[in-house]
Amino acid sequence: MASLSRALFLLSLLALTATISSAHNITEILSAFPDYSQYNSFLTQTKLADEINTRQTITILVLNNAAISALAAKHPLSVVKNALSLHVLLDYYDPTKLHQISKGSTLSTTLYQTTGHAPGNLGFVNITDLQGGKVGFGSAAPGSKLDSSYTKSVKQIPYNISILEINAPIIAPGILTAPAPSASDVNITALLEKAGAKTFASLIISSGVIKTYQSAAEKGLTIFAPNDEAFKAKGVPDLSKLTNAEVVSILQFHAVAGYTPIGTLKTSKSPISTLATNGAGKFDLTTTTAGDQVTLHTGVDSSRVADTVLDATPLAIFTIDNVLLPLELFGKSPSPAPGLEPSAAPSPAPVLAPTPSTVEAPSPLAASPPAPPLETPEGAPSEAPSAESENSTSGNGAGHVASPALMMTVLVTVCATVISSVVLS
């Protein structure tokens, strides 16, 4: 009975640990502030909310409904996503830190910089503590003005997420005028060939699956394309020995209806239906995440998501390292899958030792790119004004909580102590 109690206690601790590991939910936080309802809606539509929720240290520069309406007017969703990603800083800034910037000015990396669409310094934001207690924001591009300024604090969870209101959008040169072709204008096969997935591109053309992809793209489509080396790997079935229907199912299994960027893949908890999903089979995928690395699982094999070929709402294209084999075609019987090389004859030993499963080592969390050096702007920075009058954490309901890393350390320590006591008893 005592052992059962200890086991239940350990399970409770693990459940609490899992809860704390999800440190924030930007959608839920902003839902309490009607002034930012449109901003919140665009975070959901562009799937930026999913990417924000995977970050452990982040600052969101929010715009009220009037300001975001002016920014989003007459621009497609893909352009709005780029503009909003420039308002997500990959560092923690609360009101106090804003007024204590070393030398009065700094550059901060944004989510826009991580997309690969930002040439030069366009993915960085200039933050400058101006005279008179005013804090200005602007693009880091040479010659850009500080057209936006800090208005008030919205909420902080030190030192995990900070939400600050600014009075006007930060606009990087060309960010609103960048071409945003519709999904029907995108040449999917050309992109795949350029990305090193020529075999996959050839297969979707010869099988006719490209038409399925193109018809689904307008409403949203995500493609996982195995690179050319993946088709040469040991264990990949000989597609010439499969029926046309089976080949089509495999190729449709590599695509998902709906726009699913990498941030959404990181937060996916439920099985993901594919274009091959039908009444006869699930044909779904599951995901696991280690740091910034996402792995797809089929029930038969798995593959790392290697590179992003295209991320332009409503179309996302990724390359992957392995061909995805659906359980419905390759996991129904113990016999080898079609075209697979025969396995070696088993040893005549009376009892076979179980083969240990192979576990991939998690990739380390990729560090944000360092901000380039910036000379101190003209005008000496003002002295830090008192933050007591600002809408601080205690005043907006955020509450002072320990950092997630500290809380996780405490929990791990407690778990280790309890486990030791169980073993010693």
**Segments of 130-254 assigned E as strands:** 135-139, 148-157, 161-166, 221-226
Within-domain flag for 387: no
CATH (domain of 79): 2.30.180.10
User: 148-157 and 161-166: which strand pairing?
Assistant: antiparallel
- For residues 411 and 13, the answer to whether their CB atoms sit within 8 Å is yes
- Tell me the residue range of the domain where 27 lies: 21-177
Same domain, 172 and 192: no
Burial class (CB in 10 A: 0-12, 13-18, 19+), 168: middle
Spans of the chain below 50 pLDDT: 1-22, 333-412, 414-416, 418-420, 422-425
Phi, psi (rounded to 5 degrees) for 207 = -85, -15
How does DSSP assign 213-232, residue by residue? HHHHHTT-EEEEEEPGGGGG
364-380 per-position pLDDT tens digit: 334 444 444 444 444 33
In this predicted structure, what is the pLDDT of residue 382?
40
**Total count of domains within the chain:** 2
Chain center to CA of 251: 24
Do 130 and 152 belong to one domain? Answer: yes
38 and 123 both lie in a single domain: yes
Distance CA(265)–CA(269), nearest Å, equals 9
Same domain, 222 and 87: no
Helices and strands (H and E) in the chain: how many: 15, 14
Vertex 266: Cα angle to 409 and 162 (nearest 5):
60
Final residue in a domain of this structure, among 143, 177, 211: 177
Q: Estimate to the nearest angstrom the gap between the alpha carbon of 261 and the chain centroid.
A: 7
3-state SS track over 45-74: HCCHHHHHHCCCCEEEEECCHHHHHHHHCC
- Measured at the alpha carbon of residue 184, what is the angle toward residues 178 and 190, in degrees to the nearest 5? 80
- Is 397 contained in some domain? no
Amino acid 180: pLDDT: 62
Same domain, 310 and 234: yes
Q: Is 4 inside any structural domain?
A: no
Whether residues 232 and 287 share a domain: the answer is yes
CB atoms < 10 A from the CB of 298, how many? 23
> Structure tokens of 380?
């000496």
Indicate the pairing of strand 284-290 with strand 161-166: unpaired
- 122, amino acid identity: L
Q: Is there a contact between 166 and 137 (Cβ–Cβ < 8 Å)?
A: yes
> Has residue 377 been placed in a domain?
no
pTM of the model: 0.67
Amino acid at residue number 257: A
pLDDT at 181: 62
